[in-house]
Structure 1
Amino acid sequence: MNRRTFLKDICVGAVTLSGLPGIYAATKPRNSKPNFVIIFTDDQGYGDLGCYGSETIRSPRLDGLAKEGTRFTDFYAQPVCGPSRSALLTGRYPVRSQGWSMPESEITLAELLKTAGYTTGCIGKWDVSNRRDIKGRIPNDQGFDYYWGTLGANDGGAVRLYDNRESIGVDRDMAGLTKRYTDKGIEFLKANKDKPFLLYLAHTMAHSVIDATPRFKGKSKGGLYSDVIEELDYHTGRLLDAIDELGLRDNTLVIFTTDNGPWNNMQEPLRKKHKGAVAWGSSGPLREGKGSTWEGGVRVPCIVRWPGHVPAARVSNAIFSTVDFMPTFAKLAGYMVPTDRIIDGVDQTELLLGKNEQGARDHFYYLCRNELHGVRKGKWKLLLEDRKNYYGYVKDTGSKEKELYNLESDIGEKHNLTKQHPEIVEEMLELIKAFQWPAKLPDTAIVPRKKKGR
């Protein structure tokens, strides 16, 4: 079954189910379905918010969001940006959803929400169409009714902006992007306040070439990077205020998270780009950063608020991931999860609503490009021997042997316990063997390699 056939079938199924008692979609009035707002920052480290231990970043709005909702301490994205985005959008590890090369055949949560009557908007960084305008693979072709943002990154200090399908020019004002994206997000909220919606707001900051406006520049304790995060916090507050002012607070599930760990392993190149300024974040107590499968590369901040549903002032250490969004939203919005492909995400509704403190996720796989580096189950994390380092900026390559860590007592991955717990190693290796590989591995380049002879 192809993507179009599946989406057509579930639309018919949704209409059929709407006439049956006992079905979630049938028993909920249309306006009682929760709205979804995903705020997705870039290259923000685990230690880069006050509520996650930062002493140099003031983040009163996000700290407040954590008090109003649940803060997750063991939340996982992917090692780098494109793969992290395809995983979030599809509920599938990048080895299936293909990261920067996410194909038209993938089914996104936006497409699925549309089958349940939602209006969908994407603002900001897309980064799953090889950073180009490719028919079938841009936001408007992947389930989003409205798009305003850039299809790629800002590595050269500029972004090409699109208003839906139309290119509207190049923007070199990196300091102003966070405000512009937030303004567009607020416009989307105002235009769609009377119907269920998804807003996916994917910020360019704090990736590669960063900057802050005069109101924030030089005002933090931690240099330029901290200035940028404090400005992100402020504009996130503006978005939250708009949700309140529009009367949407009680019926909107807000998620704040980021795409991968900080680029703290690229300090000298980033320093040169920024005239000596500190332009990278902190992994806090975690090992390494972006591009790695150490905790610092993939474990990131995540805060979820839904008043009256998600418990307030709660801290959860359940294993949770961006791949879980799609099946979780299915339960909350009333759409069908695709059955024609492997879905790596699990329904975490019970975890979010405080009905199950452990969550539905038994284990989580650590993948980098097309290689399986390890697995976590409970407090245990096993990394395999001879893992390939795909990103030259990652300096910490480990021992080249199997490594077992107790993340409950050793969050910094300092003490390899393979010799003390051989039985745990064997159990974890069985999980490694059980991973279901796709029939064909994807091209993992940001821009596809040209085939010989062409």
Structure 2
Amino acid sequence: MSLCVKIMISAFIASLRLASEGVRLTHHLAASSMCTPSRAALLTGRYPVRYGLEEGPESNLLPVILHITSQSGLPADETTIASALTAANYTTGLVGKWHLGMNCTLFGHSCPGPLNYGFQSFYGIPVTLFQEFRGSHAFWKFPLHDRRFQGLAMAWMTAVVSLFLASRRNVLGYCTGVLLLLATHLILGVFWFIFAHNSMNSDCRWGVSPWLFRYANSRLFRGDQVVEAPIQLDGLSQRLVEESRHFLEAHAYDKTPFFLMHSFGHVHTPMFSAPHMAGRSKHGRYGDNVEEMDESVGKVLATLAELGLEDNTIVYFTSDQGGHLEAVEDNGERIGGHNGRFKGGKRQGGSEGGIRVPGIFRWPGHIPSGVTLDMPTSLMDLLPTLLSLAGLPQLHTLVPRAMGKELDGEDISEVLLKGAKGARTPRLFLHHCGMSLHAVRMDTGDHVYKMHLAKPKWWKGSTQCGWHHTTACDCHGANVTDLSSQPELYDLLSDPYEDYPPISPDSSEYKSVVHDLKDYVKQWRKGVTLPPSQLSTMANGLWKPFYQPHCLTC
């Protein structure tokens, strides 16, 4: 039995074919509306708030891991799908985006990242793709309108003149003067670098300048080593696909069971395409990106067929979050995607547009084709479901050290194998935005209730919070409306897009459902001790030069 997981979003030929050949989950939910926590939940089957991999209310950084050298990441004692399958003698590999912490050693000699979490091979992107990765950025900066740089200039001039006069008057010897001059340049150079490229510069985002951000993080890894810096974006999708093809070919011939997680760079800012894909779509560069990823999906699926692996491989297709509505280029071109009629988007953990994602399972001869399931399911269901479909023991039997780590995902293998005829049991879902609980969902079979406890304050007439590729709604604070005293309640079966007024608080239905959901939240909180947010700790989040990996041959 082989397992192939692909994280992607697409809507064209290869993806439509995949949907027609498997079970399509139309109410599939991410555990977070941001990539780092959502990916952590997918791999562990557990809410990321359980291990602090969500932003806290005091965070002033982007609520994901920003740097390769960041000390934030998936805790070492968490068990991933890859760890579980390694214990079952599967060969495991990750191709593409990781974004869960690289665990770099001092001076960046080794950054094992996913190799510490059950993956036996890794080729891909250590963090994520950022706009700063595209193009070049200025290294030399000396804006004299800035008082700090004025001070540096005055200090340099004073030091040089003083050393010159001292040497002319024989106060200093020639060698001493030269050494002091070099030391002066070194000290002032360090201050210049800090002012120009560190977070002390008000022009810097992500804690460093665009030049330093690209230099430090635009790196492609093989195993624990950098093999490309900066990342050559054009053609990246094709290189990732070739890597997955090689992985599949190797394990088709040695007959060992395998688990491949292929996490595409598309569709994500910045927009980039291989030359043969550029300008093909009538929907601009975003459309080009979608079509390029669809081409890649087709190549991976074709490889399975060519190698005779198609009928014995479970394929799972999904995304880690909804579209980023606010993202636009400087010329106004939208590059963040669209969530259809679902309201909200990325970084809106309680909004459908932020957490509703595609979901497809395909396993020819086992999972029926052309079936649509509208019951709520979660990315966190993947771990227990794959173990069940593969005929393996449950996680806590397979990996004894995982005992005590309660799974939040559920085994949905029965409903996948039986299609719509499978049993549908009542279920509840918690929707966090950062470490704050924004909504709760309850599937009773006859209803899918959703209770909003908090909502972002959208721009008038929209379901977003501005325009820019670094802009998104807040999870905490003054820009969030607290609804906990009188939550809003919807039935998503009758009002899937929340277009109509919520259920009246005066109705018996509202009182009964809200009472039950609040009681569930209360009991859940009693049974869980949540750690502080890793992403709100400045020491964890900032760039650390002494852990920076380098590539001397790139």
Measured at CA, do residues 344 and 132 of structure 1 come closer, stay the same or move farther in structure 2, by a change above 3 Å?
same
Shift, 1:149, TM fit: 0.6
Residue 12 (structure 1) aligns with: none
| 2:189 equivalent in structure 1 | none
Structure 1 window deviating more from structure 2 (132-141 vs 177-186): it is: 132-141
- Which shifted more, 375-384 or 232-241? 375-384
| Contact kept? 1:136, 1:142, Cα under 8 Å | no
| Alignment partner of 1:248 out of 301, 309, 317 | 309
Task: Work out the CA distance in 2 between the residues paired with 1:217 and 1:370.
Answer: 40
> Which one-letter code corresponds to 1:432 in the other structure?
V
SS state at 1:192 partner: helix
What is the Cα deviation at residue 160 of structure 1?
0.7
CA distance in 2, matches of 1:145, 1:359: 36
In structure 2, the partner of 1:331 is 388
Question: CA deviation digits over 1:205-241, x for unaligned, max 9?
Answer: 2222121223222222322111101110111000000
Which residue of 92, 109, 118 maps to 1:143? 118
SS of equivalent residue, structure 1 residue 354:
helix
Matched, 1:234 2:234: no
- Say whether the 8 Å CA contact 2:103–2:111 is kept in structure 1: no
The equivalent position to 1:81 in structure 2, one of 35, 45, 48, is: 35
Q: Secondary structure at the match of 1:148?
A: strand
Comparing 117-126 with 275-284, greater Cα deviation is found at 275-284
Cα 1:142/1:91, change in 2 over 3 Å: same
In the superposition, the TM-score normalised over structure 1's length comes to: 0.82
**Deviation for aligned residue 1:450:** 1.9
2:408 aligned with 1:344, yes or no? Answer: yes
1:394 aligns with 2:473: yes
Q: Residues 161-172 of structure 1: matches in 2 within 5 Å?
A: 161-172=220-231
1:62 is aligned to 15
Distance apart, 1:440 and its partner CA: 3.9
Give the CA deviation at 1:417.
1.3
Distance between the aligned counterparts of 2:112 and 2:530, measured in 1? 20
Question: For the residues of structure 2 that align with 1:343 and 1:236, how far apart are their CA atoms?
Answer: 30
Q: What residue identity is the alignment partner of 1:150?
A: I
- Retained in 2: the 8 A contact 1:289–1:296? yes
CA distance in 2 between counterparts of 1:198 and 1:321 reads 20
Distance 1:230 1:123 in 2: 20
Residue 92 (structure 1) aligned with residue 181 (structure 2): no
Query: Are 1:186 and 2:249 counterparts?
Result: no
Query: 1:125·1:151 contact (CA, 8 Å) conserved in 2?
Result: yes
Q: Which runs of 4+ in 1 moved over 6 A?
A: 386-391, 395-398
Write the deviation string for residues 112-138 of structure 1: whole angstroms up to 9, x where unpaired. Answer: 101111000001111111x66367961
1:294 correspondence with 2:265: no
SS in 1 for 2:368: coil
Q: C-alpha displacement at 1:392, in angstroms? A: 5.5
Are residue 37 (structure 1) and residue 122 (structure 2) matched? no
- The answer to whether the 8 A contact 1:76-1:322 is kept is yes
Specify which of 365, 379, 392 is matched with residue 308 of structure 1: 365
Aligned partner of 1:124 in structure 2 is 96
Match of 1:381 in 2: 450
**C-alpha contact (below 8 Å) 1:79/1:298 kept by paired residues:** yes
Offset, 1:37 = 0.9
SS at match of 2:229: strand
**Aligned pairs, how many?**
398
Task: Give distance in 2, aligned partners of 1:170 and 1:394.
Answer: 32
Q: Deviations over 1:275-316 (max 9, x none)?
A: 543312110110010110200000101111100111100111
Aligned to 1:416: 502
Question: Counterpart in 2 of 1:445?
Answer: 535
CA distance in 2, matches of 1:199, 1:106: 19
Percentage identity across paired residues of the two chains = 31
Residue 54 (structure 1) aligns with: none
Gaps of 5+ in 1: 1-33, 50-58
Report which of the two has the higher share of helix. 2
1:281 aligns with 2:337: yes
Deviation (angstroms), 1:170? 1.6
Report if the CA contact (8 A) 1:346-1:360 is conserved.
no
Question: Does the residue aligned with 2:354 lie in a helix, a strand or coil?
Answer: helix
Shift in Å at residue 95 of structure 1?
0.7
For residues 38-95 of structure 1, the C-alpha deviation after alignment (integer angstroms, 9 at most, x for no partner) is 1113xx5xxx62xxxxxxxxx0110011110011110011210000111011111101
> Which residue does the alignment assign to 1:205?
266
Counterpart pick for 2:417 among 342, 353, 360: 353
Q: Find the residue that maps to 1:441 and give its secondary structure.
A: coil
- The structure-2 alpha-carbon separation of the partners of 1:418 and 1:132, relative to structure 1 and needing over 3 Å to count, comes to farther
Which blocks of at least 5 consecutive residues in structure 2 are unaligned? 54-64, 66-72, 134-213, 397-402, 459-464, 545-554
Query: Matched residues in 1 for 2:337 and 2:225: separation?
Result: 34
Which deviates further from its counterpart, 195-204 or 211-220? 211-220
Contact 2:347/2:474 (<8 A) preserved: no
Query: Radius of gyration: which is bigger?
Result: 2
Say if 1:348 and 1:312 are closer, same or farther in 2 by CA, change over 3 A. Answer: same
Tell me whether 390-399 or 171-180 shows the greater mean CA deviation.
Answer: 390-399
Deviation (angstroms), 1:245: 0.5
**Which residue pairs with 1:108 in the alignment?**
80
Q: 1:237 to 1:385 in 2, by over 3 A?
A: closer
Q: Report what 2:400 is aligned to.
A: none
* SS, match of residue 429 in structure 1: helix
CA distance change for structure 1 residues 277 and 192 in 2, over 3 Å: closer, same or farther? Answer: same
